[in-house]
């Protein structure tokens, strides 16, 4: 029998039992892909992170699993992992190798030296028109989007649909069966203005009915808003998610660049450790 230590962090919040939980296995050496997928299903959170020793020019290597598949990159799991690892980390920077490349994190510590928040440099997404926009709008019960429906790819594929108000966003009642017919994508519905935005994410394709906080979508949303003139490049925006499912989360995101030339994408937020345990298999 082998024993693996793990933590569960509530991410994009500083309040336990809010935000988006992620399980972080601190040393997954010896676990096969099949085992990790089974463990992620056992944990039954939106994502589970497995940490491996470093290779090449990084501090740690991570793999990320939903209950049904592996993701090349995700935001809230990696930020939660960075803060969990920060408990035993002497410095304030962690370079994390993902399947989408190197993701650096700057750790923010309180006066006692405990890590409370982190800021990541996300992979810069690519984008294109979403070829099943009509099907998606129908599944969401919407007639249209306030801006063109595009899909952004920074590991997960995030499709963005703009609504006219936060009230309309809260009242959304998607047809999840129809959403489940749209493969390899997450539907991200947003509303707001200036530096204040609300987000809801639905993705049966990734095994998530509704997500409490989607860090990879936060970065792409900042790019999307800046490209369509809804928020300035270089300005940090606040994105609140998870309100409708009782897990309020707050993400901070910045798109750096101009027009279609994106130079950087930053996402920041807090996390709090709520569970420490071991898995015997």
What is the torsional sign of CA 209, 210, 215, 217? positive
Tokens of 195: 């530096």
Per-residue pLDDT tens over the stretch 68-89? 899 999 999 999 999 999 999 8
Residue found by looking up tokens 């408990």 in the block: 87
Question: Angle CA(263)–CA(264)–CA(270) in degrees, nearest 5?
Answer: 170
**Quick one: average pLDDT of 55-59?**
85
State the Cα–Cα distance between residues 145 and 172, nearest whole angstrom.
13
Residue 56 clears pLDDT 90, i.e. is over it: no
Q: Is the sign of the CA dihedral 192, 21, 205, 78 positive or negative?
A: positive
Predicted confidence (pLDDT) at residue 132 exceeds the cutoff of 90: yes
- Average pLDDT on 9-24 reads 98
pLDDT single digits (tens) 190-245: 999 999 999 999 998 888 899 999 999 999 999 999 999 999 999 999 999 999 99
Encode pLDDT of 261-271 as tens digits.
Answer: 999 999 999 99
- Residue 239: which of 224, 259, 217 has the closest Cα? 217
* DSSP-based three-state secondary structure for 135: helix
Look up the pTM and report it.
0.95
Q: Is the pLDDT of residue 129 over 90?
A: yes
Secondary structure element (H or E) that encloses residue 198, with its range? strand 196-203
Q: Please give the domain boundaries of the chain with CATH numbers for all domains.
A: 3-122+269-280 (3.10.310.10), 126-267 (3.10.310.10)
Q: What's the pLDDT score for residue 207? A: 83
Q: If pLDDT is split at 50, 70 and 90, which confidence band does 112 have?
A: confident
Share of the chain above pLDDT 90, in %: 91
Per-residue pLDDT band for 55 (boundaries 50, 70, 90) equals confident
Q: Which tokens in the block code for residue 25?
A: 């296995």
What mean pLDDT is reported for the chain? 96
E-strand ranges in the chain read 3-11, 20-25, 48-52, 60-65, 70-71, 93-98, 101-109, 115-121, 126-129, 150-153, 157-162, 186-193, 196-203, 208-211, 237-241, 249-258, 261-280
238 among known catalytic residues: no
| DSSP secondary structure code for residue 88 in this structure | G
**What is the DSSP pairing of strand 115-121 with strand 101-109?**
antiparallel
Cα distances (angstroms) measured from residue 232 to each of 149, 229, 256, 257, 269? 20, 7, 9, 10, 20
Q: What value, to the nearest 5°, has the Cα angle with vertex 229 and ends 174 and 265?
A: 80
- Of these residues, 47, 70, 87, 238, which one is catalytic? 47
CA distance 185 to 202: 9
């Amino acid at each position: 029998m082998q024993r693996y230590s793990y933590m569960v962090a509530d991410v994009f919040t500083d309040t336990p039992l809010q935000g988006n939980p992620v399980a972080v296995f601190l040393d997954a050496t010896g676990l096969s892909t099949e085992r990790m997928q089974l463990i992620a299903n056992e944990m039954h959170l939106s994502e589970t992170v497995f940490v491996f020793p470093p290779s090449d020019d990084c501090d740690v290597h991570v793999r990320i699993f939903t209950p049904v598949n592996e993701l090349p990159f995700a935001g809230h799991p990696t930020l939660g992992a960075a803060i969990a690892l920060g408990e035993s980390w002497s410095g304030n920077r962690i370079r994390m190798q993902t399947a989408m490349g190197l993701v650096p994190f700057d750790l923010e510590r309180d006066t006692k030296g405990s890590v409370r928040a982190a800021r990541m440099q996300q992979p810069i997404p690519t984008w294109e028109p979403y070829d099943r926009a009509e099907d998606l709008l129908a599944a969401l019960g919407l007639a249209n989007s306030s801006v063109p429906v595009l899909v952004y790819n920074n590991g997960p594929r995030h499709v963005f649909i703009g609504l006219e108000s936060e009230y309309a966003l809260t009242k959304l009642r998607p047809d999840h069966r129809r959403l489940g017919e749209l493969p390899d994508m997450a539907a991200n519905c947003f509303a707001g203005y200036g530096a204040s935005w609300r987000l809801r994410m639905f993705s049966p394709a990734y095994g998530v009915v509704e997500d409490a906080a989607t860090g990879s979508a936060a970065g792409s949303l900042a790019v999307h808003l800046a490209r369509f003139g809804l928020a300035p490049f270089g300005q940090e925006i606040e994105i609140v998610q998870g309100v409708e499912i009782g897990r309020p989360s707050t993400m901070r995101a910045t798109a750096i660049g101009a027009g279609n030339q994106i130079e950087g994408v930053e996402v920041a937020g807090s996390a709090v450790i709520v569970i420490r345990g071991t898995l015997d298999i």
